């Protein structure tokens, strides 16, 4: 009888080891995938699910219906470069030197870029075994050491900055006239694969389609391992370009055509996730880097009822569409009044991937988990609005105080009122009725929080001013 008993013990031990092994494998397999879809200069009011009457966005509307749509979601800055630095690092651009009062963004000839010691979402997830890919606009540097492949991404495919840069002045009408009927050869922009230029000028009419095809292939190629896909469209930033299938199809004109093609792209990404049976293990987040560029008339978007647009610290500059999707995990519905930001994506992803937050630096992002998966109000009630390197305004709960104001792109001087302007963003999201006189206590509370925040900022080398 001894032998069978020993055999049984042995069998139990072996089975136990196999089960532990299986559990470990399934734990690793369960690491969620992350997809960030980042539009450029898309306004708060530009999607059907945010109330636009003539732009049709059925795929984003469905994403919002199945997922969570935010009413109070903020880009980390009102212009491209600092906004992108904030999203990918979870830190305000002032901390990485990616904001400046002299040059608001990086340019093709800029010598600076996201410093090597900054930890991006891609760097952190790659260390955990994730496949990582950047597709589309980068705008965090082109000098060696600053491209996506130096910041944790396995691959890169896209134009490394804004699509209106590298204007070829020998072609087309002068100045702003070139934008009204843009031709791809008016802008001598490079399309890159990793560190190589593969096409110049990039055929911008096919950009959205090619970024989508690239993204779909990346998802399919990595379906058996965790991945992070950062798809940052160059559009609907001006000059507006669109695929022939979408040209002239929208009641909103060329801008609407462009947004509707991006909506198609979102549909392709979500459909691929469904088909590959990845939908129940993938968090997708759709948002925009800043508000609409209003100086471009009907070639710019709409901030809906919000005041101002891109470049401004009025809400139209930074409050953007924000939609989270993860069927069966993210609570479906509209989350009203809870403040959240692109800054929060970094800590949210780290928590879900089981990566500890680095302890050697300050973070401005907070984990969105309670908001996304629980019944909670969320972890954030304070949000500072930076214009370049200065806090112009700050929100605390429903209140927003303006310590400085200036038009988005005008030459007017900065106004720093003795009594800051104060708005109730619940009653008055359009920031029309200053209630500072009725609530001096609220202003003092916000002023104190801004002071505490500013005390945490350490001086660093400015990357945007490097020549």
**Span of 55-63, 283-291, 327-335, 435-443 interacting with Mg ion by CB under 5 A:** 283-291
Supply the minimum distance, in Å, between the C-beta of residue 298 and Mg ion. Answer: 18
Look-up: residue for tokens 């760097």? 123
Q: According to CB under 5 A, which residues from 103 to 132 bind Mg ion?
A: none
Cβ proximity of 99 and 128 under 8 Å: no
* Sole binder of Mg ion in the list 31, 80, 372, 443 (CB under 5 A): 80
Six-digit token string for 32:
């969620």
Q: Is the CB of 32 or the CB of 316 nearer to Mg ion?
A: 316
If phi over 0 gives left and psi between -120 and 50 gives alpha, with beta otherwise, what is residue 321? beta
Please list the residues that pair with 136 across neighbouring strands: 232
Site string for Mg ion, 30-69 (x = CB under 5 A): ----------xx----------------------------
* Sole binder of Mg ion in the list 46, 164, 214, 289 (CB under 5 A): 289
Supply the minimum distance, in Å, between the C-beta of residue 438 and Mg ion. Answer: 36
Supply the minimum distance, in Å, between the C-beta of residue 129 and Mg ion. Answer: 32
In a 13 Å sphere around the CA of 193, the CA atoms on its Cβ side amount to 5
Six-digit token string for 203:
């055929």
Q: What span, in angstroms and rounded, lies between the C-alpha atoms of 172 and 77?
A: 32
Q: Is the CB of 72 or the CB of 289 nearer to Mg ion?
A: 289
Q: What span, in angstroms and rounded, lies between the C-alpha atoms of 182 and 175?
A: 12
Question: Rounded to the nearest 5°, which phi and psi values hold at 414?
Answer: -70, 135
Q: Is the CB of 290 or the CB of 313 nearer to Mg ion?
A: 290
Supply the minimum distance, in Å, between the C-beta of residue 79 and Mg ion. Answer: 6
3-state secondary structure of 438: helix
* Sole binder of Mg ion in the list 96, 121, 166, 290 (CB under 5 A): 290
Supply the minimum distance, in Å, between the C-beta of residue 310 and Mg ion. Answer: 6
Supply the minimum distance, in Å, between the C-beta of residue 41 and Mg ion. Answer: 4
Q: According to CB under 5 A, which residues from 353 to 392 bind Mg ion?
A: none
Supply the minimum distance, in Å, between the C-beta of residue 361 and Mg ion. Answer: 25
Q: Is the CB of 67 or the CB of 300 nearer to Mg ion?
A: 300
Would you call 237 a catalytic residue per the annotation? no
Supply the minimum distance, in Å, between the C-beta of residue 175 and Mg ion. Answer: 21
Annotated catalytic residue within 52, 139, 237, 402: 139
Annotated catalytic residue within 49, 52, 80, 439: 80
State how far Cα 251 lies from the chain centre: 27
Residue 315 binding Mg ion, by CB under 5 A: no
Six-digit token string for 3:
């032998």
Q: Is the CB of 290 or the CB of 302 nearer to Mg ion?
A: 290
Q: Is the CB of 80 or the CB of 219 nearer to Mg ion?
A: 80
Q: Is the CB of 41 or the CB of 315 nearer to Mg ion?
A: 41
**Span of 8-16, 287-295, 354-362, 380-388 interacting with Mg ion by CB under 5 A:** 287-295
Q: What span, in angstroms and rounded, lies between the C-alpha atoms of 307 and 139?
A: 26
Site string for Mg ion, 319-358 (x = CB under 5 A): ----------------------------------------
Cβ proximity of 316 and 43 under 8 Å: yes
**Cis amide prior to 236 (ω within 30 degrees):** yes
**Span of 27-35, 90-98, 282-290, 380-388 interacting with Mg ion by CB under 5 A:** 282-290
The two most distant CA atoms of the chain are separated, in Å, by 96
Q: What is the DSSP string of 349-402?
A: HHHHHT-PPPSSS-------HHHHHSS---S--EEEEEETTEEEEEEETTEEEE
Q: Is the CB of 40 or the CB of 367 nearer to Mg ion?
A: 40
**Span of 45-53, 97-105, 149-157, 281-289 interacting with Mg ion by CB under 5 A:** 281-289
Cβ proximity of 143 and 111 under 8 Å: yes
Q: At what angle do helices 207-221 and 253-275 cross, to 10 degrees?
A: 10
Pairing between strand 227-232 and 33-39?
parallel
Question: Rounded to the nearest 5°, which phi and psi values hold at 423?
Answer: -130, 145
**Span of 100-108, 256-264, 288-296, 334-342 interacting with Mg ion by CB under 5 A:** 288-296
Would you call 49 a catalytic residue per the annotation? no
The number of residues that bind Mg ion (CB under 5 A) is 5
Q: What span, in angstroms and rounded, lies between the C-alpha atoms of 219 and 401?
A: 43
Question: Rounded to the nearest 5°, which phi and psi values hold at 298?
Answer: -80, 0
Look-up: residue for tokens 């950047």? 134
Going by the DSSP 8-state scheme, the letter that residue 284 receives in this structure is E
Catalytic residues: 80, 139
Chain positions contacting Mg ion, by CB under 5 A: 40-41, 80, 289-290
């Amino acid at each position: 009888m001894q032998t069978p008993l020993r055999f049984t013990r042995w069998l139990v031990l072996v089975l136990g080891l196999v089960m532990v092994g299986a559990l470990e494998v399934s734990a690793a397999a369960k690491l969620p995938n992350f997809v960030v879809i980042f539009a450029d200069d898309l306004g708060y009011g530009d999607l059907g699910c945010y109330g636009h009457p003539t732009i049709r966005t059925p795929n984003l509307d469905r994403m919002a219906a199945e997922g969570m749509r935010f009413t109070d979601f903020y880009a980390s800055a009102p212009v491209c470069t600092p906004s992108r630095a904030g999203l990918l690092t979870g830190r305000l651009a002032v901390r990485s030197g990616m904001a400046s009062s002299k040059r608001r963004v990086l340019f093709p000839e800029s010598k600076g870029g996201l410093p090597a010691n900054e930890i991006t979402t891609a760097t952190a997830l790659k260390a955990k075994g994730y496949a990582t890919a950047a597709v589309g606009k980068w705008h965090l540097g082109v000098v060696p050491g600053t491209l996506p492949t130096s910041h944790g991404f396995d691959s890169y495919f896209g134009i490394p900055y804004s699509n209106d840069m590298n204007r070829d002045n020998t072609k087309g009408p002068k100045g702003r006239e070139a934008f009204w009927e843009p031709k791809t050869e008016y802008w001598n922009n490079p399309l890159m694969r990793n560190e190589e230029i593969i096409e110049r000028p990039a055929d911008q009419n096919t950009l959205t389609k090619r970024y989508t095809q690239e993204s779909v292939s990346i998802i399919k190629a990595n379906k058996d391992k965790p991945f992070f896909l950062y798809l940052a469209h160059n559009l609907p930033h001006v000059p507006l370009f669109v695929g022939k299938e979408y040209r002239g199809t929208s009641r909103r004109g060329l801008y609407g055509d462009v947004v509707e093609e991006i909506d198609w792209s979102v549909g392709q990404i979500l459909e691929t996730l469904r088909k590959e049976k990845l939908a129940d293990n993938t968090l997708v987040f759709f948002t925009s880097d800043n508000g609409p560029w209003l100086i471009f008339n009907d070639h710019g978007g709409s901030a809906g009822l919000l005041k101002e647009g891109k470049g401004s610290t009025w809400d139209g500059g930074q409050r953007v569409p924000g939609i989270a999707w993860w069927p069966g995990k993210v609570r479906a519905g509209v989350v009203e009044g809870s403040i959240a930001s692109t800054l929060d994506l970094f800590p949210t992803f780290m928590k879900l991937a089981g990566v500890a937050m680095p302890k050697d630096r300050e973070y401005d992002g907070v984990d969105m988990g309670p908001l996304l998966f629980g019944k909670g109000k969320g972890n954030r009630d304070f949000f500072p609005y930076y214009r370049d390197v200065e806090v112009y305004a700050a929100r605390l709960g429903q209140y927003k105080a303006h310590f400085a104001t200036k038009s988005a792109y005008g030459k007017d001087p900065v106004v720093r009122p003795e009594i800051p302007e104060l708005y109730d963003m619940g009653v008055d999201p359009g920031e029309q009725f200053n209630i500072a006189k009725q609530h001096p206590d609220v202003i003092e509370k916000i002023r104190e929080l801004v002071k505490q925040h500013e005390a945490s900022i350490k001086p660093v080398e400015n990357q945007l001013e490097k020549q």
